[in-house]
Amino acid sequence: MSQTPSIAGAWHRPMVARFSDEEHRSATALELFFDLCFVAAVAQAAVAFEHELAEGHIGQGVLGYVLVFFAIWWAWMNFTWFASAYDTDDVAYRLLTLVQITGALIMAAGAAEALQYRDFTVITWGYVVMRLAMVSQWLRAAHSDPDRRTTCLRYAAGIFVVQLGWVGRLFLPDDGGLVVFGILVLAELAVPVWAERAAITTWHPHHIAERYGLFTLIVLGESIIAATAAVRTALDDDASLGDVATLVVGGVLTVFALWWLYFAQNAPGRLTGLRSALLWGYGHYAVFASAAAVGAGLALNVAHTTGHGHLTDHAVAAAYTIPVAVYITVVWLLHHRASEVRRATDIVHPLVVLAVLAATFAPAPVLVTGILATLLIAATLVLGARAAAAARHA
């Protein structure tokens, strides 16, 4: 039996599974609110990342960003997939989601401290708050959905045990904390694989694709906001508009092309089973992290034009070109299988990625990157149209 939440909500509904082929399944207002609150954590991580790079702490900044962003992405992803299968929209569900939002805000407050000083105390507690709320949700689902009770209990038990590990990690010496972090990350990633083997939850392919697309939009939008703030700061420091004009044009072209690239694909068509869903979900860590890093890299390049920071010209350019290259590569891989790479339209993306990386050493690298990303979209449109015409006449 399945149910569709009403707009008004209710005091209590049994948390039974929704149909995976339910018509008109779209993101709810609560999910959109959840995403907006989560972007606060993304923004704080990106700002702290930019600060670390500007100070010349490249290794520490990249490592800290990778670790912090995992916590943000993983907590968001688990809520998203759970909600796709078990969104009852009753009072208990909304209150537990509010607890998760509170955890996200705690994570946002601790993101800079974790990234700059490797102090994960605040962000860990915010993360644990979110994950324990998910344990409660899975226990509710286990009570109301006997067909998938084992799956739900596995999720609840697995998440709870790993949270004990995260809290215990806080008491470890610094030299052992990174190794344990890696072990706990692997444990987190293993929980869905283990749980779903009992019985696959009824996540909705179109709903999942929409949720990921919406969060990609928000993260790309945050990149624009970060760059806008950087330009405003540069102008306040008496930089001329001509000094930042190429950065603005290049940044706008890049973000627009990244948006186009992501939404030019048939995402629901790739979500055909557990394996494809895991690859899709896990692969978006790199999509989200690189999209947010694009904004940090653009802001860093703007600051560099006014003489701020301790990086060389090439290092500052790489802070922008590398995230763009990662984003294009991962989006391309998520939408293609190895057996499908046999046409010109399938190899243009890797060629553009190489060109973007080479733009690190070009004059005006941000503008060159924006032009290359735009040419990628134009090339795929032209080659796609030719392939379609050839198929019609075949």
Domains (range + CATH), the chain: 29-196 (no CATH), 205-393 (1.20.1410)
DSSP string, 281-332: HHHHHHHHHHHHHHHHHHHHHHHHHTT-SS--HHHHHHHHHHHHHHHHHHHH
Q: For the purposes of burial, counting CB atoms within 10 Å of the CB of 50, is it exposed (0-12), middle (13-18) or buried (19 or more)?
A: buried
pLDDT at 338: 43
Q: For the purposes of burial, counting CB atoms within 10 Å of the CB of 200, is it exposed (0-12), middle (13-18) or buried (19 or more)?
A: middle
pLDDT at 79: 93
For residue 121, what are the CA distances in angstroms to 184, 192, 295?
16, 26, 26
Give CA–CA dist 156/150, Å, rounded. Answer: 10
CA 91 to chain centre: 28
Give CA–CA dist 104/77, Å, rounded. Answer: 12
pLDDT in tens for each of the 394 residues of the chain? 444 444 445 787 778 888 777 787 888 899 999 998 888 889 888 888 988 898 888 888 899 999 999 999 999 999 999 999 998 888 999 999 999 999 999 998 998 888 888 888 999 999 999 999 999 999 999 999 999 999 999 999 999 999 999 999 988 876 667 889 999 999 999 999 999 999 899 988 899 999 999 999 989 988 888 778 777 777 777 666 777 888 888 988 999 999 999 988 877 777 877 888 888 889 999 999 999 999 999 989 888 887 766 788 999 999 999 999 999 999 988 876 544 545 556 688 889 999 999 999 999 999 999 999 999 999 888 877 776 676 677 6
The answer to whether the beta carbons of residues 76 and 37 sit under 8 Å apart is no
Q: Rounded to two decimals, what is the model's pTM?
A: 0.89
Give CA–CA dist 326/286, Å, rounded. Answer: 7
Pick the closest to residue 291 from 271, 268, 314, 263 (CA basis): 263
The token duo for 268 is: 């629901």
Give CA–CA dist 349/257, Å, rounded. Answer: 12
Give CA–CA dist 71/61, Å, rounded. Answer: 16
pLDDT at 306: 77
For residue 168, what are the CA distances in angstroms to 136, 145, 253?
21, 32, 46
Name every residue whose Cβ is closer than 8 Å to that of residue 200 and which is 6 or more positions away in sequence.
151, 274
CA 35 to chain centre: 11
Pick the closest to residue 114 from 77, 159, 69 (CA basis): 69
